[in-house]
Amino acid sequence: MQKIELMAPAGNFESLQAALDNGADSVYFGVEQLNMRARASINFTLDDLEEISRRCKEKNVRSYLTLNTIVYDHDLSIVKTLIKRAKEADITAVIAMDQAVIGMARQEGMEVHISTQINITNIETVRFYAMFADTMVLSRELSLRQVKKITEQIEKEEIKGPSGNLVEIEIFGHGALCMAVSGKCYMSLHSHNSSANRGACKQNCRKKYTVIDQETGFEMELDNEYIMSPKDLCTIDFLDQVVDAGIKVLKIEGRGRAPEYVAKVIKCYREAIDAIQEGTYSKEEVVSWMQTLETVYNRGFWSGYYLGQKLGEWSKGSGSHATQKKVYIGKGMHYFSKPKIGEFKIEAFDLTVGDTILVTGPTTGVEELKVEEMLVNDEKLSSAKKGDSVTIPLGFRIRPSDKLYKIVENKVEA
């Protein structure tokens, strides 16, 4: 089996570094407002493009700028500026759905990837967009059998993109799924005048609803399932079948999620892809990966439409079903490089020897470890409280911009 590209989300520099440190082959990110996570994540600025490009090049990782929203006339000058700056920064490609964005990117000489918002479901649509793009994300509603038929036809008919290479197919591998067809939803627009297709979804589909029969007045509260809120997609337990479908890129969703989500999900899928390549992929490993994936934000897991289910699997509650959560306890102060010791200021809650901590930062990325020993106000103690200065042996450098969290178990209702 050919090794596939693992594509990671980056909503900020912490997540970007987490993706780079945990084995991503490529990252995708938004700049300013013209992307599908304009509201959900912090997003980068134009001035960040050079730094994003530099970090990615250091790790030989491809970088993709998402410009995949609906675009109006008043947006066109901004789009042109974004694409021009991305080209100057040597960003690898632009992910687009609007024909104006596709055209502008091609005029600027940038590689184009077709977004899932285009909703590609057949080989003729692939053939059409091959005039403009080298990589295409297929509709999320296809089965693996349908995906495989498309990839086989690309090879058989030698359908090539502008680069002269065969068109590469990308699919979603893990993360949030939307009730709408390939993300095209108008619910938020109608209820809050906030367009999901402009990256400003209010996620009102994730709430509990009451259904009323207008003829009889009969009222039914849908408290057993959130019927417009699908569980998160997870393919790690049948990833060998996904690879066998002939895809070239596996996309992990999550630009609006925390950096530790990016770190753990990318690490698991990196190990799984490598295991398939090496012939060591097994049920035992899948169990371990699933346990890790359950520790970070999720709405429960299902296999999407890839295995042919007729109906979706819905979340049974609002918010995350993660088995763990992080609690902020302090910030980084100083790193002593020779003894490899980090100093933190405790600003909330307690820290005890034996606790698992999480350190995140724009340059540090995400680091997780168990506290084996520490000095509290220069004394060797087993616990620290708010206001204390703590030093802990670390195998990585910390910075004043870093945040310190404690990982605790999260009680999730069945």
Three state DSSP letters for 320-339? CCCCEEEEEEEEEEEEECCC
> Which of 91, 108, 171, 84 is CA-nearest to residue 135?
171
Q: What share of the chain is helix, strand, coil (3-state, %, to 5)?
A: 30, 30, 40
* Residue 376, beta-bridge partner list: 379, 390
Q: What tens digit of pLDDT does each residue of 325-364 get?
A: 999 999 999 999 999 999 999 999 999 999 999 999 999 9
* C-alpha span between 81 and 68 (Å, rounded): 15
Spatial contact of 130 and 101, defined as CB atoms under 8 Å apart? no
Q: Does residue 318 register a pLDDT over 90? A: no
* C-alpha span between 184 and 68 (Å, rounded): 11
Which residues lie closer than 8 Å to 126 by C-beta, 6 or more apart? Answer: 120, 136, 150, 153, 154, 159, 167, 169
pLDDT at 322: 85
Q: Is the dihedral of CA 374, 375, 377, 381 positive or negative?
A: positive
Provide, rounded to the nearest whole percent, the portion of the chain with pLDDT above 90: 69
Going along the chain from its start, the domains and CATH numbers come out as 5-178+230-302 (3.20.20.70), 184-220 (no CATH), 324-409 (2.40.30.10)
pLDDT at 277: 95
Residue 342: both structure tokens together: 């980090």
* C-alpha span between 231 and 314 (Å, rounded): 5
* C-alpha span between 215 and 9 (Å, rounded): 47
pLDDT at 275: 97
* C-alpha span between 110 and 90 (Å, rounded): 9
pLDDT at 215: 77
Q: What tens digit of pLDDT does each residue of 264-296 get?
A: 999 999 999 999 999 999 999 999 999 999 999
Spatial contact of 4 and 273, defined as CB atoms under 8 Å apart? yes
> Which of 384, 394, 332, 392 is CA-nearest to residue 360?
332
Q: What tens digit of pLDDT does each residue of 112-155 get?
A: 999 988 999 999 999 999 999 999 999 988 999 999 999 999 99
DSSP state of 34: S
pTM of the predicted protein model: 0.85
Q: Is the dihedral of CA 369, 373, 375, 376 positive or negative?
A: positive
Residue 271: both structure tokens together: 């190990």
Hey, which of 8-12, 36-40, 220-224 has the most confident mean pLDDT?
8-12
Spatial contact of 366 and 14, defined as CB atoms under 8 Å apart? yes
* C-alpha span between 410 and 414 (Å, rounded): 12
Spatial contact of 142 and 305, defined as CB atoms under 8 Å apart? yes
pLDDT mean over 72-84: 93
* C-alpha span between 288 and 251 (Å, rounded): 21
pLDDT at 189: 57
Spatial contact of 302 and 225, defined as CB atoms under 8 Å apart? no
Q: What tens digit of pLDDT does each residue of 150-171 get?
A: 999 999 999 999 999 999 999 9
Q: What tens digit of pLDDT does each residue of 12-56 get?
A: 999 999 999 999 999 999 997 765 554 545 679 899 999 999 999
pLDDT at 177: 76
Residue 365: both structure tokens together: 């990325």
Task: Tell me the one-letter amino acid at 371.
Answer: V
pLDDT at 180: 60
Return the beta strands (E) in 38-158 as ranges: 62-67, 93-96, 111-114, 135-137
* C-alpha span between 288 and 284 (Å, rounded): 7
